[in-house]
Amino acid sequence: MNPELPLTPPVIRPRRLRTTPALRRMVAETSVEPRQLVLPLFVREGLREPQPISSMPGVVQHTRDSLLKAVTEAAEAGIGGVMLFGVPETKDAVGSGAVDPGGILNLAIFDVVAEVGDALTVMADLCLDEFTDHGHCGVLTPDGRVDNDRTLAVYADMALAQAHAGVDMVGPSGMMDGQVRVIREALDGGGHTDVSILAYSAKYASAFFGPFREAVDSSLEGDRRTYQQDPANALEGVREALLDVAEGADLVMVKPALAYLDVLRRVRDAVDVPVAAYNISGEYAMVEAAAAHGWIDRESAILETLTSIRRAGADVILTYWATEAARLLG
């Protein structure tokens, strides 16, 4: 060592790796790929024209025809799958439309599978809230509480109806205890061993679901705090995910995404199945509203949002921007 040299260390320059677009691209730790994106779609019974959802600019309730156009575009864009939600014309206390083979969601599954075949993973929401007149995710006890175990029996029937319609993957989103186990047993008992389960495992009672309630014409009064999780709890989110894996979930999900990125990371580190995150309606609406005001750059905000969800640990992202983002990602 030369004793004449000063001992102060040189400036460490992380900026060097940010010098050019090619270099930044080369060292990027996280990427978003079209195959990782899933597009949620709403189809409404009895509709003649697609119906805009005012709180979700750019998203519509589809007719059975316009739904097919949307899934064709999604397949052409190369995304991973679609998640279907049905909005029935009539609702009742037990959500009969959900288990009816002629119910709107089951018809839509059949149509979509016939249209796109294996080009997309066709998923369906498995929950009663769109189909019940009280808007809860399950059936009620005489005194108005959500009846966990009676709801499970309906979920089992709903899973079979969706499987008969040709669904690839069911997405139980009602947060009933034991729902994954009961659905897995029902599917296997019906010979549908290849139908997979994307469990909405850590699902929080969130204000950010607001626009979705318009999207599905929800009749809910009150809230879902006796079954969806308290936003204060992260460990409990991990516990729910581990339980769902033990019950047979093929993938687990954290939902919403943005306000729960820490939960997403913890779940990713705790399980050995793919983890999905749902970039939900309110998260979409916030970006769209700010962009419409010219307050943020829309496309950059979309890509940054999706990147942040991937960085936090999501292998799969459900997002209303799926088709558009796939095109942006080229």
| Catalytic positions, written as ranges | 203, 255
- Minimum distance, C-beta of residue 329 to ligand PBG, in the bound complex (Å): 21
Stretch that binds ligand PBG, among 10-18, 70-78, 121-129, 308-316 (CB under 6 A): 121-129
Of 196, 280, 268, give the one whose Cα is nearest residue 237.
268
The only residue of 38, 127, 195, 252 in contact with ligand PBG, by rule CB under 6 A: 127
Going by their DSSP bridges, the two strands 251-255 and 196-203 should be labelled as parallel
Residue 114 or 207: the one with the smaller Cβ distance to ligand PBG is 207
- Minimum distance, C-beta of residue 75 to ligand PBG, in the bound complex (Å): 22
Q: How many CB atoms lie within 10 A of CB 141?
A: 11
As a whole number of angstroms, the distance between CA 92 and CA 323 comes to 34
CB burial class (10 A; 0-12, 13-18, 19+) of residue 316?
Answer: buried
Q: Report the alpha-carbon angle 234-41-195, nearest 5.
A: 70
61 sits near ligand PBG (criterion: CB under 6 A): no
209 sits near ligand PBG (criterion: CB under 6 A): yes
- Minimum distance, C-beta of residue 138 to ligand PBG, in the bound complex (Å): 11
316 sits near ligand PBG (criterion: CB under 6 A): no
Q: Tokens 């607001």 — which residue?
A: 210
129 sits near ligand PBG (criterion: CB under 6 A): yes
Spatial CB neighbours of 22, under 8 Å, sequence gap ≥ 6: none
Stretch that binds ligand PBG, among 64-72, 114-122, 123-131, 186-194 (CB under 6 A): 123-131
As a whole number of angstroms, the distance between CA 253 and CA 318 comes to 10
The only residue of 212, 227, 260, 321 in contact with ligand PBG, by rule CB under 6 A: 212
Residues near ligand PBG, by CB under 6 A:
125, 127, 129, 173, 209, 212, 280-281
